[in-house]
Structure 1
Amino acid sequence: MLDADPSPLIDRSALAHCYVIANGKGGVGKTTLASNFAGLVAADGGSVLLVDVNGQGNVGRDLGYRESSIDDEGAALSEALRTGAPLKPVSGVRPGLDVVVGGQHVGAVPDMLAATYRMQQHRQALALAISLAPVAGRYDLVVIDSAPENPPLQQLALSAARWMVAPTRSDKASITDGLGSISRQFRLVRNTVNPDLALLGVVLFGSGSASKQIHRNARQWVADELGTDGYLFDTIVRYSEAVGQDARSHGRLVHELEVAAASNPKFWDLRAGRAAAGTIVSATSASVAEDLATLAREILTRAAEQDAA
Structure 2
Amino acid sequence: MTDATVVAGLGWPATGGVVAIDSATGERRSANGWPRISGTIDPTGGPSNLEREISVNAGDRPAEPAASTHGRSAADLAGFAMAGSLADMDTPIAREAAVALMAVGRRTAPMPKPDQTRIMVVANQKGGVGKTTTTVNLAAALAVSGLRVLVIDLDPQGNASTALGIDHHAEIPSIYDVMVEETPIGDVVQKVEEIEGLWCVPATIDLAGAEIELVSMVARESRMRKALDQHLQSPGVDYDYVFIDCPPSLGLLTVNALVGGDEVLIPIQCEYYALEGLSQLLKNIDMVRAHLNRDLAVSTILLTMYDGRTRLAAQVAEEVRRHFGDTVLKTAIPRSVRISEAPSYGQTVMTYDAASSGALSYLEAAREIAERGASGSTHGETIHG
Q: Partner residue of 2:214?
A: 113
Structure 2 CA distance, aligned partners of 1:125 and 1:47? 27
Q: Partner residue of 2:201?
A: 100
Q: Partner residue of 1:133?
A: 229
Structure 2 vs 1, CA of residues 216 and 74 (structure 1 numbering), >3 Å: closer, same or farther?
A: farther
1:245 shift after superposition: 3.4
Structure 1 CA distance, aligned partners of 2:172 and 2:242? 18
1:152 lines up with 2:252 in the alignment: yes
Structure 2 CA distance, aligned partners of 1:91 and 1:60? 10
Structure 2 vs 1, CA of residues 213 and 174 (structure 1 numbering), >3 Å: closer, same or farther?
A: closer
Higher relative contact order (CA 8 A, sep 6+): 1
1:174 lines up with 2:274 in the alignment: yes
1:78 lines up with 2:179 in the alignment: no
Letter in 1 for 2:369: I
Q: Partner residue of 1:301?
A: 371
TM-score, normalised with respect to structure 2: 0.62
Aligned residues: 258
Q: Partner residue of 1:271?
A: none
Q: Partner residue of 2:154?
A: 53
Q: Partner residue of 1:6?
A: none
Select which of 285, 288, 291 maps to 1:192: 291
Select which of 228, 233, 244 maps to 2:329: 233
Structure 1 CA distance, aligned partners of 2:257 and 2:379? 24
Structure 1 CA distance, aligned partners of 2:273 and 2:288? 24
Structure 2 CA distance, aligned partners of 1:47 and 1:290? 20
Gaps of at least 5 residues in structure 2 are 1-114, 381-385
1:83 shift after superposition: 4.2
Select which of 208, 211, 218 maps to 2:317: 218
1:286 shift after superposition: 1.0
Structure 1 CA distance, aligned partners of 2:134 and 2:379? 25
Please list every run of at least 4 consecutive aligned residues from structure 1 whose deviation after the TM superposition is greater than 6 angstroms: none
Q: Partner residue of 2:220?
A: 124
Structure 2 vs 1, CA of residues 107 and 181 (structure 1 numbering), >3 Å: closer, same or farther?
A: farther
The answer to whether the 8 A contact 1:15-1:162 is kept is no
Structure 2 CA distance, aligned partners of 1:196 and 1:158? 10
Structure 2 vs 1, CA of residues 48 and 229 (structure 1 numbering), >3 Å: closer, same or farther?
A: same
1:3-18 to 2 correspondences below 5 Å? 16-18=117-119
Select which of 20, 35, 38 maps to 2:139: 38
Structure 2 vs 1, CA of residues 155 and 300 (structure 1 numbering), >3 Å: closer, same or farther?
A: same
SS at match of 2:299: strand
The answer to whether the 8 A contact 2:121-2:243 is kept is yes
The answer to whether the 8 A contact 2:120-2:263 is kept is yes
Structure 2 CA distance, aligned partners of 1:16 and 1:42? 14
Gaps of at least 5 residues in structure 1 are 1-13, 118-122, 260-284
Structure 2 CA distance, aligned partners of 1:64 and 1:153? 23
1:243 lines up with 2:326 in the alignment: no
Structure 2 vs 1, CA of residues 41 and 217 (structure 1 numbering), >3 Å: closer, same or farther?
A: closer
Larger radius of gyration: 2
Identity %: 25
Question: Counting helix residues as a fraction of each chain, which structure ranks higher?
Answer: 1
Structure 2 vs 1, CA of residues 21 and 307 (structure 1 numbering), >3 Å: closer, same or farther?
A: closer
The answer to whether the 8 A contact 1:205-1:237 is kept is yes
TM-score, normalised with respect to structure 1: 0.76
Structure 2 CA distance, aligned partners of 1:149 and 1:41? 27
1:16 shift after superposition: 4.9
Deviation digits for residues 239-279 of structure 1, max 9, x if unmatched? 02x224311211111011115xxxxxxxxxxxxxxxxxxxx
Structure 1 CA distance, aligned partners of 2:318 and 2:300? 13
Structure 2 vs 1, CA of residues 213 and 79 (structure 1 numbering), >3 Å: closer, same or farther?
A: closer
1:159 shift after superposition: 0.8
